[in-house]
Amino acid sequence: RKEVEQDPGPFNVPEGATVAFNCTYSNSASQSFFWYRQDCRKEPKLLMSVYSSGNEDGRFTAQLNRASQYISLLIRDSKLSDSATYLCVVNEDDMRFGAGTRLTVKP
């Protein structure tokens, strides 16, 4: 079983749509969680941390469900510029990345 698993995608949505990604993890002792964005042929960049109480940054909302061991990312009112691959990360000392979910937002 993979330690971090993501929705396989790809997601193709129209502008303005709401899209959600989920990511499950296997280690119940995991403490830190993050979402990253990776543009084509570029390095991943930190999008947002995921806090236990859930957190929001503009159109982006991240949530953590420890009981079910998953994290989620919700993007509202999606823009063309949101097109990218979104990666979840679960951290102990080794940062474990999910395989990523590709999102394409179309006009």
Partner 1 sequence: SQTIHQWPATLVQPVGSPLSLECTVEGTSNPNLYWYRQAAGRGLQLLFYSVGIGQISSEVPQNLSASRPQDRQFILSSKKLLLSDSGFYLCAWSGRDRGSFFGPGTRLTVL
Binding residues (CB under 8 A) for partner 1: these are: 31-32, 34, 36, 41-46, 49, 87, 89, 91, 93-100
C-beta closer to partner 1: residue 32 or 65: 32
- Closest separation in Å from C-beta 16 to partner 1: 28
Q: Nearer Cβ to partner 1, position 17 or 99?
A: 99
List all residues 6 or more positions away from 22 whose beta carbon is below 8 Å from its beta carbon. Answer: 6, 7, 70, 71, 72
Of residues 19 and 47, the one with the C-beta less far from partner 1: 47
Strands 84-91 and 101-106: antiparallel
- Residue number with CB closer to partner 1 (2 or 79): 2
* CA-wise closest residue to 103 among 87, 86, 90, 88: 86
CB of 99 vs partner 1, minimal distance in Å: 3
Q: Give the CA-trace dihedral at 27, 44, 6, 65, to 10 degrees.
A: 50
**Minimum CB distance to partner 1, residue 62 (Å):** 12
Rounded Cα distance, 45 and 41, in Å: 12
